[in-house]
Amino acid sequence: MKIKFKLYATLQDKLPANAVDNAVEVDVDEQVTLFQLIDQFGVPRESAHLVLVNGTYFAAEQRAETGVLSDGDVVAIWPPVAGG
Amino acid sequence: MAWTRQLLRVNLTEGTCIPEPLNMDWANQYLGQRGLATRYLVEEIDPQCDALGADNKMIMATGPLTGTMASTAGRYSVITKSPLTGAVACSNSGGFFGAELKNAGWDMIIFEGKSPAPVYLHIENNNATLMPATDLWGKSCWETDEMLHAKHQDPQMRIAVVGRSAEQGCLFSSVINDLHRAAGRSGVGTVMASKNLKAVAVRGSLGVGNIKDPARFMSAVSAGKKVLAENPVTGEGLPALGTQVLMNVINEVGAMPTRNMQEVQFEGASKISGEAMLEPRESDGKPNLTRNGGCFACTIACGRISTIDREHFSVKEKPQYWGNSGGLEYEAAWALGSDTGVDDLDALTYVNFLCNEDGMDPISFGATVAAAMELFESGAISTQHTDGVELKFGNAQALCWAAEKSATGEGFGADINLGSRRLCEKYGRPELSMTVKGQEFPAYDPRGIQGMGLTYATSNRGACHLRSYTVSSEILGVPEKTDPLQTEGKAGLVKAFQDATAAVDSSGLCVFTTFAWTLDDISPQIDAACDGDWSPERLVEVGERIWQLERDFNMKAGITGSDDTLPQRLLKDAAKSGPAKGKVCELGEMLPEYYQLRGWTQDGQLTAETRSKFDLPS
Ligand code: SF4
């Protein structure tokens, strides 16, 4: 299945050169975990602070679970960030 | 003791500048800056007075740590009764002005009365003089800053000033200091201009002495700086991307107010984001962001210094805007961009420059233009009102035009300068105004971040994110992640943020430190600097006392519990996309518990018991 994978802020350098608007499309196995995706893009797990699937937060303990992603999902990841 | 223990009372009617000792009993109860100045305001003005009349007073106040070597310790606040909301106004600013004022030997300045003719206040340490400002009236903030520096031949003088918008009565004008730092919200600049006070120019070389325990202070300050440096948010994220790092986050979670809060996600967000500000542009290969910048003593340096593409329509014929100036913060980028549907980064940067140049609060300005765009699209106003301009969502030219008009108050600019509530009332569509207590919303849709709904409804200065930034917990996971779509526990969360923030806002420190610091990091710094024991628990108590005092002022000004609400759009119209799709803000689930936690009646009144617990003045 295909999902959209996005990295932002100081993690955006980890994206391949063909990324557009901080996003790449990736082909993944249905059983893929969020940690596997995070590892695949060379993002240190401790830097993956905000992990959102279709805008909803996934906590650290959910990132090793399989079956959390479906075709067309959007995974977006930030390091610790804040603003005001 | 950190306080200078001296304030300056400036009577603009009489033309006098008289020093007086700081009320230390009140300083012990309210710390400084926001809290202490509010205590003075409550004592000295009738809460029902005309905010733009001579009876209102305006206080510029520093905190006990302002001007010291503590990180971010350059803050001051402007406290007055707001012409926009009728509530207490307290707007906090960074830059260098606050520290300079403290270095000149003053904890605060109380301005009272109204000058018969335009004046500015010149302070050189102990010498304070009102000077004629007829030549400065009608000039922008930037021109005034330049003229005063030239006149006094002192490049190190720090200046706080109001622009042409304030002179014209724009109800959301800011006080601008150091060219692009603002005491931004609630029309504090409008009050300053109503007193015929154009600027305050300060040079202070006395230093900030009187630290209670200098050695302990230095070590507490160093420990605090280490925490900021090692924290990924304050050590890395904020310097690199500024607050604008939030644009994509908030859009992704579906809490990005869009097109006058009709939607919760903006398709153009990535084009106006912090990441976009780093992208080299086609014309000259330079990015929008030149560098980051910091306020006095700040080791975070979240500020943005930007340029506009010289080929862009907004500045092509205007070389005066080709240089570096204060760039987009998230709040400005949201209000000027997503809320108006404009995704043109250069246009937003230009309008942001104009907001700094003539002192419009970019949040209120952008949100009011967004309301005007909805009025236009719904037919309530037409091109007859707008000099033929198609004031539609997404029209970057129209946004730039609106800013130019607002700056001078000409034509339709006078309508925009009423703010969203009065504008929508004027054109018969009050329900289109996205405001609480008359103040425009900031950049978080409470349908997608429930705690912010309660934050807005109960904020003592009308819709505001800086009174309790629960986004930090609900979205960003700082200090702990909570679910943004749940209402449970949010009453306590909002109260805790409100109290802690009120204490930080009274110290001289920047609230952005709290992404890394807790009160356990802040209290040793205050405790080493100030007389008395300043434990984290005492700071929370001070914060809560300030909150109650502000509420009490508002109640006496005629605001009631029924004003603790949100526009119907946010309570009735469900979010159309994102995780909050189908949800409204469930304010009713949070408000009763919040009142209870505050010790208020069911209709939001302070009880006698609460008043006595916090020793509030009668
Ligand atoms: S964190 Fe940003 S706003 Fe706060 S003092 Fe530092 S530069 Fe100024």
B274 lines ligand 1 (CB under 6 A): no
CA B520 to ligand 1 centroid distance, Å: 20
| pLDDT value of position B485 | 98
B302 lines ligand 1 (CB under 6 A): yes
Asked if B334 reaches chain A (Cβ–Cβ under 8 Å), the answer is no
Q: Residue B452 pLDDT more than 80?
A: yes
**pLDDT > 90 in chain B, percent:** 98
In this complex, the residue of A21, A55, A82 whose CB is nearest that of residue B578 is A55
**Environment class of B257 (CB within 10 Å of its CB; exposed 0-12, middle 13-18, buried 19+):** buried
Asked if A82 reaches chain B (Cβ–Cβ under 8 Å), the answer is yes
DSSP line for B410-447: -TTHHHHTT-HHHHHHHTT-GGG--EETTEE--S--TT
B72 lines ligand 1 (CB under 6 A): yes
pLDDT tier at B618, thresholds 50, 70, 90:
confident
> What are the tens digits of pLDDT across the range A10-35?
999 999 999 999 999 999 999 999 99
| pLDDT value of position B97 | 98
Are A5 and A23 in contact, with CB atoms under 8 Å apart? yes
Closest C-alpha among B394, B277, B397 to residue B343: B394
Sign of torsion over alpha carbons B597, B602, B606, B610: negative
B508 lines ligand 1 (CB under 6 A): no
Pairs of residues, one from chain A and one from chain B, whose beta carbons lie less than 8 Å apart: 93
Are B595 and B604 in contact, with CB atoms under 8 Å apart? yes
Can you list the domains of chain A with their CATH numbers?
A: 2-78 (3.10.20.30)
- pLDDT, mean of residues B509-513: 97
B94 lines ligand 1 (CB under 6 A): yes
Are A33 and A51 in contact, with CB atoms under 8 Å apart? no
- pLDDT, mean of residues B445-452: 98
Closest C-alpha among B169, B144, B82, B142 to residue B413: B169
- pLDDT, mean of residues B428-451: 98
| pLDDT value of position A77 | 98
| pLDDT value of position B380 | 98
Q: What is the ipTM of this complex?
A: 0.97
Are B295 and B510 in contact, with CB atoms under 8 Å apart? yes
In this complex, the residue of B244, B245, B579 whose CB is nearest that of residue A56 is B579
Chain B residues with beta carbon closer than 8 angstroms to that of A80:
231-233, 237, 476-478
Q: How far apart are CA B517 and CA B65, in angstroms?
A: 16
Q: How far apart are CA B304 and CA B326, in angstroms?
A: 6
> What are the tens digits of pLDDT across the range B52-100?
999 999 999 999 999 999 999 999 999 999 999 999 999 999 999 999 9
| pLDDT value of position A84 | 82
Q: How far apart are CA A77 and CA A60, in angstroms?
A: 12
- pLDDT, mean of residues B297-321: 97
Q: Residue B202 pLDDT more than 80?
A: yes
B 446-505 residues with CB < 8 A to A: 465-466, 469, 472, 475-478, 481, 483
Are B248 and B269 in contact, with CB atoms under 8 Å apart? yes
| pLDDT value of position B1 | 57
Residue that has been written with the tokens 């402007």 in this structure: B78
Asked if B248 lies within 8 A of A55 by C-beta distance, the reply is no
Residue B341 backbone class (left: φ over 0; alpha: ψ -120 to 50; beta: rest)? left
Can you list the domains of chain B with their CATH numbers?
A: 6-203 (3.60.9.10), 243-252+258-433 (1.10.569.10), 446-613 (1.10.599.10)
Asked if A82 lies within 8 A of B512 by C-beta distance, the reply is yes
> What are the tens digits of pLDDT across the range B370-386?
999 999 999 999 999 99
| pLDDT value of position B478 | 87
| pLDDT value of position B210 | 86
